[in-house]
Structure 1
């Protein structure tokens, strides 16, 4: 039963972070399954913007195109530096 007395909170920033992580994980796994070096392929994509660095396997190219490259870099940098 849904409690209609309390307001549901929506956290856009957390949802964006979670979505970015989920998509990058799926793309990483698709690249790995196809025998590519996922880190090299993702770096190539992030630097060039050329989606052909990402395989079509398991819809990885379509998934990564849902994200802006600068948003990906922002989340990766935050995670690397362990910034919340």
Structure 2
């Protein structure tokens, strides 16, 4: 096997491709809301700290949100904001 040692190799984490970030956010939001939490505050707390205890384990929400990377969540939120707020202005 011939490896080119002059280039940096990029290794991307394996993702659960069966679950879209938007679907994860919807399900986590719903679980937090049903338990009486402020979903926005809790999700922001999780994104900022990486601490999964910001997310309830109700309906498997904590396990679910940990299946996607926090930067993927931020990208999705930013994409949604740009598409729905900035492009309409």
TM over 0.5: yes
TM-score (norm 1): 0.76
The count of corresponding residues between Structure 1 and Structure 2 is 67
Instruction: Please give the residue correspondences for 1:22-41 in structure 2 after superposition, counting only pairs within 5 Å.
Output: 22-41=23-42
TM-score (norm 2): 0.72
Runs of 4+ in 1 over 3 A off after TM superposition: none
**Coordinate RMSD, CA, aligned:** 1.5
2:81 — aligned with what? Answer: 80
Q: Secondary structure of the residue that 2:36 maps to in structure 1?
A: coil
Instruction: Please give the residue correspondences for 1:34-53 in structure 2 after superposition, counting only pairs within 5 Å.
Output: 34-53=35-54
Structure index of larger Rg: 2
Higher fraction of helix: 1
